[in-house]
Amino acid sequence: MRRVASAVLVLWGAVTVTFLALHLIPGSIVDAIIGQSRVTPEIRAQIIQDYSLDKPLWQQYLGYLGRLLHGDLGHSYNQGVAVSTALEQQAGSTFALLLGGVAFALVGSVVVAVATANRPRWIRGPAATAEVVSVAVPSFWLGILLLTVFSFRLHWFPAIGANGFNGLVLPSIALGLAPAAMLSQVLRQGLERVLEEPFIITARARGLRSAAVLLRHALRHAVLPVVTLTGWLVGAFVSGAVVIESVFSRQGLGHLTVGAISQRDFPLVAAIVLISALVYVVVNLAVDALYPLLDPRLRKAPEVVR
Amino acid sequence: MRSRPGVVLSFVFLFVLALAAIWPHLFSATDPNAADIQSTLSPPSGQHWFGTDQNGRDIYARVVTGVRLSLLIGVTASALALIAGSAIGVLAAQGGRVLNTVVNRLLDIFLSIPGLLLVLLVIAVLGPGVRNSIIGLALVTTPGYARVVRGEVIRIRGAAYLEAAKALGWSRPQIVLRHLVPNALGPVLVLATIGIGAAISIGSSLSFLGLGPQAPTAEWGAMLSSSRDYFTVAWWPAIFPGLAITATVLAITVAGQFLQLRVEGRSQA
């Protein structure tokens, strides 16, 4: 319950941040809301009424909170539709990309970590170097490199703006590589620590093969430190998706965000910031809920872990 | 210290980068903005080491020129975040329970918004450009510094060596300079070092998205962005600026991790 309360607090804070941001924009607030589009005086009056701009600041703030609580994210005057409609149209594409990136990062990091944990230096060394380099490579450059090699030279994958599974492969790799490298570093460290524990020796003494020990016993423990990275990972994936959609000219929320900023479409930008804060909070809550399932030691006394 | 050669190489590379940022003419005498219609998109050669771009500008000269802007963005954003974060962290640690809780909650809120999106929100408010990118990047990284500084101040406050120094009759400035500053600053400076790399990386994504420095400024992310229109015919405009970002971020990360080992080693001893 405490976690839910603090999650609600964080969301409320994020809403406040976007409200303050709107009021920090130089010039009139109505102009900030309509962005670069042109509207009739009637619509201007309507905006002033909708946002209670003729009322004191605290009433504007309460009105803003109230509308968000009813699921009203406002209207994008550049797009000519409600913000929620614009988001719904683009969410699917971004969701597919995020799913692809997360899947690549999870599978890739587990495979690399399991294959290289406790191995001789000539295996671990290059893997560790590759991981450090992978974290340093900017995702948009990786995307360009993948496009150049696999789309334009080898023609294995469609180049730009393609949807469907084939169009998802390269963007997912570009999005997932840096998180994968980060994860496999943490996983390998975790695995190597766990493999020294007595229960692993017991398992081996029972005659389990190395692979079985790694996958059935050690991996479960090695995953635990990853949980502390959840926040970083959500940020990395959401931020990455914005850039990757631009590289691959994909439709999606990131594409929408960049367009919204250059057209100064503030309601849309604010809504996307709020949605990503919501995603962050929900993922963190979900991970908190899953944590005891991974680690039975925490089931009886969940308050000990904080 | 398994990776000694890598560490040495990183520090040497960073030294070279610093030189290029201060005196770009040491490395390239060519004007980075001089267009040459005669040789557009010509491949790397003895005359143009990294080839030329769609306007016939020398890519090597543009990459060298871009060092200053990237380092400026990275270092300034980190320095601003370091100062703001330290102030907030000390305030939270010394300001009593209520203030501590309030600051913690505020940091939670800022940490809940993915980094790039928070920068984008700042740019939506202030408009695109180098200065606003730096402000956005600093704002995004400040909570991290605040957390670490707060933790360090609380940790050091109770340390036995402060009591010992007091008992030995050290003066207050001596204690602050010899004990407090080195111990609290170490981890924060390490974070700032690695933070420079992160800021350079996010900063270059911003200009890649067209929201950072505007054309014709030679900036690595912006160069990569314009290379996309030509990469069916020319690979070199898409390679060298990306290599520059990667090598810079990598060198900063390796150097930062080396410093981290040194600092942790000292606080454990």
Least confident of A85-89, A293-297, B34-38, B197-201: A293-297
Burial of B65 (0-12, 13-18, 19+ CB in 10 A): buried
pLDDT at B17: 92
Q: To probe the interface with A, which of B117, B133, B139 has the most A CB atoms within 10 Å? A: B117
Residues of B in contact with A17 (CB under 8 A): 109-110, 113, 121
The DSSP-derived string for A164-202 is HHHHHHHHHHHHHHHHHHHHHHHHHHHHHHHTTSHHHHH
State whether the Cα torsion B1-B4-B10-B16 is positive or negative: positive
What are the domain boundaries of chain B? 68-268
**Tokens encoding B219:** 């900036």
Test A13 with B112 for CB contact under 8 angstroms.
yes
Residues of B in contact with A136 (CB under 8 A): 197, 201, 246, 249-250, 253
pLDDT tens-digit series, residues B123-174: 888 888 899 999 999 998 899 888 888 888 788 777 777 778 888 888 877 7
Using the Cβ of A45 and the Cβ atoms of chain B, whether some distance falls under 8 Å is answered with: no
Residue in B with minimal Cα distance to A239: B116
DSSP annotation of A75 reads E
Model confidence, pTM: 0.85
Interface ipTM? 0.84
DSSP annotation of B168 reads T
Bin A56: left if φ > 0, else alpha if -120 < ψ < 50, else beta: beta
Residue positions counted in chain B: 269
Query: Helices (DSSP H) in chain B: which residue ranges?
Result: 4-22, 59-94, 96-112, 115-126, 130-157, 160-167, 172-175, 181-208, 220-227, 236-268
Q: How far apart are CA A137 and CA B201, in angstroms?
A: 8
| 3-state secondary structure labels for all residues of B219-254 | CHHHHHHHHCCCCCCCCHHHHHHHHHHHHHHHHHHH
The Cα-based distances of B107 to A164, A269, B15, B142, B143 in angstroms read: 39, 21, 35, 9, 5
Q: Supply the range of the domain harboring residue A216.
A: 93-253
Maximum CA extent, chain B: 77
Residue A185 lies in a domain: yes
Q: Is the Cβ–Cβ distance between B206 and B127 less than 8 Å?
A: no
pLDDT tens-digit series, residues A157-166: 776 655 667 7
| CA-wise closest residue to A129 among A184, A190, A194 | A184
Mean per-residue pLDDT, B166-183 = 76
Nearest CA-CA distance, residue B16 and chain A, Å: 19
pLDDT at A160: 63
A-B contacts (CB, under 8 Å): 144
Using the Cβ of A138 and the Cβ atoms of chain B, whether some distance falls under 8 Å is answered with: yes
Q: How far apart are CA B208 and CA B226, in angstroms?
A: 8
CATH 3.40.1710.10 given to domain B68-268: no
The DSSP-derived string for B50-72 is T-B-TT--BHHHHHHHHHHHHHH
pLDDT tens-digit series, residues A236-282: 898 899 999 988 888 889 888 888 888 888 888 889 989 888 988 89
Number of folded domains that form chain A? 1
Test A243 with B205 for CB contact under 8 angstroms.
yes
Q: What's the CATH number where A212 sits?
A: 1.10.3720.10
AA letter at A123: I
Residues of A in contact with B125 (CB under 8 A): 21, 24-25
**Tokens encoding A204:** 């081996």
